[in-house]
Each structure stands twice: as C-alpha cells, then as structure tokens.
C-alpha cells in the first residue's frame, strides 16, 4: 500500500487538487470528528482479525543495536521507506509541494497546511488553511509567567534547555490535565489533547523567538504577533528577519518538511513514550525536545556547518572535486564520520535534502554563496568516497547536509559555541507538528502505556541456548 506506483500517486494528487478546490471550509476539529471513528474502527479490526500476525522477527542485533528497524510502534501521520523516503499519508514531499496551500504571496508549504494533512490525512482548502493560521495566531501570545521565566534564565543556558523548560511550564495551561482530573471519559481524551496541542503549537514561535532575543539581542523589543500572518511568518518576524522574504520562505519549507519523520526517531519516540503515561502534551513534547538536543539527532545540522567551514578554511579559495575528496579521506582516516551523510533508515539521498537543494537552485544569491556551493560539490564527491570506504550503509546526504548552511547564509550565524547554538530550536518548533499529531491520535485510539521487555546479556545467552 505504501509503495504506490507513479500513476497511482498522480491520481491521488489529482484527487487532492480537486478536493482542495471544492471542499467546504471546516475547522480541523470538525474534520477530525469525522476521521477519528473510522480510524478507531480500523484499529479495532486490526486487533481483532490480525492481532497474531507476524510483522518480523526480533533478533539479538535489534536488542543490542538500539532496536534499529524493529517494527514495534504505531505512528499514524507518516511512514519512512528506505528507498522512497518519507511519505505523509501516502504523499511524498514533491506531492505535498503540489497540493498543500502556501502563504499569501508565497510558494512554499506552510506549517498549517502540513499540520492539517498530518492530523486528518486530508488536503486543506486555502480557506481552511487561512482559518487555522488565524486561530493559531490568536492563541500565540505567551502568558506573562512564561515570559518572566525565560527572561530570568542566564543567556549562557543552552537554548534547547530553555525551550524545554518553557514548554514544560506551559502545562500550567493544560486543558487535558484539567479534564483528566475532573474524570472525563477516555473517548473524550483526544479532544482535550487537540486543544493543548494547538495551544502549544501556537505559542512555540513566540517562545523560541524570546529565547533568541534574550541570548543574541538582549533588550531588543519583540514584535507583537500579527493575526494576518501564518505561524512561520510570525516566527521569522519575531526573530527580527521579517523583511527577508527568502528566509521566510525557506523556513516555511524547512519547518513543513521537518514536521514529521515517522515515530522511531529519538524525539518522536520519546514524546510518544512519555505521552503514553497520559502525561499532558506539554510534558510529552518537552521530553521529546531534550532527545532532539543530542548531537546524534537535532544538533547534527550545525555539526555539518562547522565541518563544511573547516573544509573551506583548510582548502582555501580554489576548491576542486579532488581537494574535497582528499579532505573527505582525511576525515574518515582520522576516525571521524562525515557529518550530514548516512541515515538510520534511508538508503538513498534524503528527499528533504533534495527539496532544500531545489530551493537553493531557484535563488541566484544562494547559488553564489561559497558554503552552499561547497555543499553541492561535496554531494558530487562524497557518495563515491563513502562507498569506497565501505563502512556506511547509506553513503548519501541526509537533510542536515544542507539545512544549516542555508540558515547561515540568511544571517542566522549563531551556532559555533555549543552552549548558545540555536539551530536545533528551529528543528524543535518544526518537529512539534508530528509529535503532537501523534499525541492526539494516541489518545483517540486509546493506545496503552509503552512497556517493552528488557533482557540482560545473561538472559539473552540463555534464550539462545534454549
């Protein structure tokens, strides 16, 4: 079902376009009220009719290798295929770029249209997208106690630490927690989960922008939220770059395509695990943010940029494919990995990387940027070197190979000192789309607390002998 043919995809996109033109304007809640019962029935039938079906064997390498590739988690909004890459309810990134509404005057997918697709599996109309943008903008102001909390933190405290603290503290506002304490029915959990999720998504730009202001531009006034702008438009405006249309468009694309990458990655899995305890969406996503903060996950794009800039400095002005090849081998022979290459699941170039490359190809200023040029040249050389090296399962670029370099071009240069690196905060604003979508669906489907069985090495050896 996932591996649809190109003709089937074309038909899907065509139907989606028709739906976009003719669907009536509804709120996301009204659409979910129609979709949730169908999904609940689908899950009931899966458990009843196929509960004993085998999806794969558990091997020792799964247990000791971080459960890599083990099919053991339900995640509704997206599926990641090693060859095709990510699909959101069956749609590739290229499909989404064709059918999901952009901002007025823009061309790139916006967070609201991607959120609608992730939550409902349906393509929103332009009117529905604008309505959702308006709702989020109206919910976007931070409570005064959150502003005071963030303002009280030292500017040297890592931005991701501050973001997680702010998100966790917002659970003071949790409608889900309040309703649970009143004793609501399980069938109503998802409605309050949705309220919290929309409230949190709405406030993330103001929270992330306040952290940025306090660290890099202390004392500078923060613009008020503009009710007529989309989520990312307001975010860029509050960061202080509102007059840069290209950066705004880039971050719209970046946040939309980073919004979900199935459930097995560390941040998504962590938020899902914590949410399974019925912790509210704020606490669940705060936990996910701290998983995202690690250098093997969300911190990777700034590691790529640091490596690219070191290469540029060492090779000087005349950078050739041969000199890049020599630098790659130097990196590998020193025992280091080539940052931005390889992926835990993918075995082809990351479609997100390709989408960002296409964005660069349409803008002459980006194409002339030395770092962006170096990213393109590295892509032309690195796969062959990594194949020859033979120690990576995927010699192709992932999204981190390009994302941070474009941010740097547009003036977000704050990445060099690890304690003040900001890039991962932008990733955190993005990944909320998928993690909070799944939180809503986990409550709608009544998923249980996550509790895998652990084994000691002695227990594993005993099972092997048996």
Fold of domain 300-409: Cytochrome p450-Terp; domain 2 (1.10.230)
Q: What is the value of pTM for the model shown?
A: 0.92
- Answer whether 292's CB lies under 8 Å from 266's CB: yes
Identify the residue whose tokens are 């996932």.
2
Residues 6+ away with beta carbon under 8 Å from 290: 160, 164, 270
| 41-99 pLDDT, tens digit each | 999 999 999 999 999 999 999 999 999 889 999 999 999 999 999 999 999 999 999 99
pLDDT at position 10 over 50: no
Pick the catalytic residue from 89, 261, 272, 297.
297
- Please say if 409 is a catalytic residue: no
What does each C-alpha distance from 110 to 85, 92, 142 come to in angstroms? 20, 15, 22
* pLDDT-based confidence at residue 380 (cuts at 50, 70, 90): very high
Dihedral sign computed on CA atoms, order 48, 52, 56, 62:
positive
| Residues above pLDDT 90, as percent of the chain | 86
Query: 9-41+67-298+425-466 architecture in CATH?
Result: Orthogonal Bundle (1.10)
* Domain positions in the chain: 9-41+67-298+425-466, 300-409
Nearest to 298 by CA among 278, 270, 329: 270
**CA angle (128 as vertex; 125, 130 as ends), nearest 5:** 110
pLDDT at position 111 over 60: yes
β-pairing verdict for 78-81 and 85-88: antiparallel
Residues 6+ away with beta carbon under 8 Å from 323: 315
**CA angle (98 as vertex; 431, 241 as ends), nearest 5:** 50
Q: Is 259 exposed, middle or buried (0-12, 13-18, 19+ CB in 10 A)?
A: buried
| 207-246 pLDDT, tens digit each | 999 999 999 999 999 999 999 999 999 999 999 999 999 9
What does each C-alpha distance from 232 to 137, 194, 241, 252 come to in angstroms? 10, 20, 11, 6
Within this chain, domains 9-41+67-298+425-466 and 300-409 share the same CATH topology: no
Detail the DSSP E strand segments found in 82-212.
85-88
C-alpha span between 37 and 27 (Å, rounded): 17
Pick the catalytic residue from 199, 280, 369, 400.
400
pLDDT at residue 22 in the model: 40
Mean pLDDT of 299-315: 90
pLDDT at residue 419 in the model: 57
Pick the catalytic residue from 258, 261, 343, 409.
343
- Containing H/E element for 362? none
Q: Is 276 exposed, middle or buried (0-12, 13-18, 19+ CB in 10 A)?
A: middle
- Answer whether 352's CB lies under 8 Å from 399's CB: yes
- Please say if 389 is a catalytic residue: no
* pLDDT-based confidence at residue 251 (cuts at 50, 70, 90): very high
pLDDT at position 17 over 70: no
pLDDT at residue 1 in the model: 33
- Please say if 269 is a catalytic residue: no
């Amino acid at each position: 079902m996932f591996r649809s043919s190109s003709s089937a995809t074309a038909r899907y996109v065509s139907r989606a376009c028709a739906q976009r033109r003719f669907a009536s304007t509804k709120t996301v809640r009204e659409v979910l009220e129609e979709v949730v019962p169908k999904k609940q029935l689908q899950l009931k039938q899966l458990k009843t009719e196929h509960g004993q079906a085998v999806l794969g064997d558990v091997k020792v390498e799964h247990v000791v290798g971080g459960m890599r590739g083990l099919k053991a988690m339900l995640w509704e909004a997206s599926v990641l295929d090693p060859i095709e890459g990510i699909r959101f309810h069956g749609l590739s990134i290229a499909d989404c770029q064709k059918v999901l509404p952009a901002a007025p005057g823009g061309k790139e997918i916006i967070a609201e249209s991607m959120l609608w697709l992730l939550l409902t599996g349906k393509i929103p109309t332009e009117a529905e997208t604008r309505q959702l943008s308006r709702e989020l903008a109206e919910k976007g102001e931070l409570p005064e106690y959150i502003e005071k909390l963030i303002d009280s933190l030292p500017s040297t405290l890592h931005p991701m630490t501050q973001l997680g603290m702010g998100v966790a503290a917002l659970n003071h506002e949790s409608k889900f927690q309040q309703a649970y304490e009143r004793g609501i029915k399980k069938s109503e959990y998802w409605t309050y989960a949705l309220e919290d999720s929309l409230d949190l998504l709405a406030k993330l730009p103001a929270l992330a922008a306040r952290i940025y202001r306090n660290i890099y531009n202390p004392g500078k006034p923060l613009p008020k939220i503009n009710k007529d702008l989309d989520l990312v438009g307001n975010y860029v405006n509050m960061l202080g770059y509102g007059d840069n249309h290209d950066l705004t468009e880039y971050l719209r694309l970046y946040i939309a395509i980073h919004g979900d990458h199935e459930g097995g990655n560390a941040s998504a899995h962590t938020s899902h695990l914590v949410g399974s305890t019925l912790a509210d969406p704020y606490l669940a996503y705060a936990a996910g943010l701290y998983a995202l903060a690690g250098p093997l996950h969300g911190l990777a794009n700034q590691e790529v940029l640091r490596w690219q800039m070191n290469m540029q400095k060492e090779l000087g002005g005349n950078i050739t494919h041969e000199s890049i090849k020599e630098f790659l081998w130097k990196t590998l022979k020193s025992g280091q990995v080539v940052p931005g290459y390889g992926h835990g699941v993918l075995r082809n170039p990351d479609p997100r990387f390709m989408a960002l490359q296409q964005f660069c190809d349409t803008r002459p200023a980006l194409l002339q940027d030395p770092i962006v040029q170096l990213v393109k040249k590295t892509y032309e050389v690195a796969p062959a070197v990594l194949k020859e090296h033979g120690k990576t399962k995927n010699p192709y670029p992932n999204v981190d190979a390009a994302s941070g370099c474009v941010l740097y071009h547009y003036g977000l240069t704050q990445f060099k000192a690890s304690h003040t690196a900001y890039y991962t905060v932008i990733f955190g604003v993005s990944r909320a789309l998928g993690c909070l979508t799944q939180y809503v669906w986990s409550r709608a489907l009544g998923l249980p607390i996550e509790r895998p069985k652990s084994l000691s090495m002695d227990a594993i050896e005993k099972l092997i002998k048996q």
